[in-house]
Chain A
Amino acid sequence: EPEVTQTPSHQVTQMGQEVILRCVPISNHLYFYWYRQILGQKVEFLVSFYNNEISEKSEIFDDQFSVERPDGSNFTLKIRSTKLEDSAMYFCASSETSGQYSPLHFGNGTRLTVT
């Protein structure tokens, strides 16, 4: 079964550094998402992306965050200047459509640790 793949599985970075988290969505999916889960807290929506632009973003997704689909297969999340509170699991997801009948398929996440 096709799956969403994320790399790296674990990223350690120093505060203030830039990180890029990478995702390869399922090939025929058109909608892409980033979610994050801080340890012990709920999974939170960050951003949705369709047709090479952001469809919606949450309050968390401020100017230090950006997303890009640099080619036909990758979908990236960049955090420009990491803060300690950015430490979390970051999940990429994709879906065929944006409708309620189109389930999200999640990757296994990237654990980001900011020291």
Chain B
Amino acid sequence: TQLLEQSPQFLSIQEGENLTVYCNSSSVFSSLQWYRQEPGEGPVLLVTVVTGGEVKKLKRLTFQFGDARKDSSLHITAAQPGDTGLYLCAATSYNQGGKLIFGQGTELSVKP
């Protein structure tokens, strides 16, 4: 069974602080996605990483895919209250593009 473990599960920080969320597995994946989910809504895709070692930036968010394609991280610089939400990592195996395996999520709270 392929598992994705996210850490931490809960994170409460002050506005302006930096943070990193981790997504780890013992399995190799063909791609990994990061989603953000607001209460009462479905997950919204932030980024897809495909190549081992790949780094993608989305404004203050930096996403990295591990060299071995087993892990990923999301780093937020100078967090804002608007960053508050549930962050989910999800991965796909080879030849199973639409079957996502999700991590349990990281609930981020950024206080003004």
A interface, CB within 8 angstroms of B: 4, 31, 33, 35, 41-45, 48, 55-56, 91, 93, 95, 97-109
Q: Complex Cα distance A95/B103, Å?
A: 20
Q: Nearest chain A CB to B63's CB is how many angstroms away?
A: 14
Contact of B50 among A45, A100, A109 (CB under 8 A): A100
Q: Complex Cα distance A106/B100, Å?
A: 12
In the complex, the answer to whether B43 meets A106 with C-beta atoms within 8 Å is yes
Total A-B contacts with CB atoms under 8 angstroms apart: 63
A103 touching B48 in the complex, CB below 8 Å, given contacts A4-B42, A42-B105 = yes
A100 touching B90 in the complex, CB below 8 Å, given contacts A45-B101, A109-B42 = no
In the complex, the answer to whether A45 meets B97 with C-beta atoms within 8 Å is no
Chain B residue numbers with a CB within 8 Å of A104 are: 45, 98, 100
Per CB-CB distance, the 8 closest pairs between chain A and chain B, nearest first, are A106-B42, A100-B31, A98-B97, A43-B102, A103-B45, A48-B98, A99-B97, A108-B41
Give chain B interface residues in 87-107, CB to chain A under 8 Å: 88, 90, 92, 96-105
In the complex, the answer to whether A43 meets B43 with C-beta atoms within 8 Å is yes
Q: Complex Cα distance A33/B102, Å?
A: 14
